[in-house]
């Protein structure tokens, strides 16, 4: 397993020039299918069981009259957005 300071090198971890340009222009980058179903399920499970996320999440009504939770955290160069 890579240490925190290491980046796993494989073909899926590299951004294209277009993605870098979009991030520079827009300030964010959305990557479709970044995680497979198993990874997404694991991340969602962790987020739902994390008390800090639960306490800091912003709750909003969604289009189906249900509730969606949004939690954003970050530091220079790294942002994490969690939707439930």
Buried b vs exposed e over 71-84: b needs ≥16 C-beta within 10 Å? beeeeeeeeeebee
Assigned domain for 5 exists:
no
When pLDDT is averaged across residues 34-39 and rounded to a whole number, the result is 88
Assigned domain for 77 exists:
yes
Determine the Cα–Cα distance for residues 41 and 38; give it in Å rounded to an integer: 5
Q: pLDDT grade, residue 18 (50/70/90)? A: very high
Assigned domain for 3 exists:
no
How many domains does the chain contain in total?
Answer: 1
Assigned domain for 66 exists:
yes
Determine contact, residues 84/44, Cβ cutoff 8 Å. Answer: yes
Assigned domain for 1 exists:
no
Query: What's the pLDDT score for residue 38?
Result: 93
């Amino acid at each position: 397993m890579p240490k925190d300071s290491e980046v796993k090198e494989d073909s899926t971890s590299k951004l294209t020039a277009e993605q870098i340009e979009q991030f520079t222009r827009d300030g964010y980058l959305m990557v479709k299918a970044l995680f497979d179903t198993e990874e997404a399920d694991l991340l969602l499970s962790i987020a739902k069981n994390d008390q800090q996320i639960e306490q800091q999440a912003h709750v909003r009504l969604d289009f189906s009259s249900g509730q969606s939770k949004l939690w954003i955290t970050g530091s220079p160069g790294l942002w994490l957005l969690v939707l439930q």
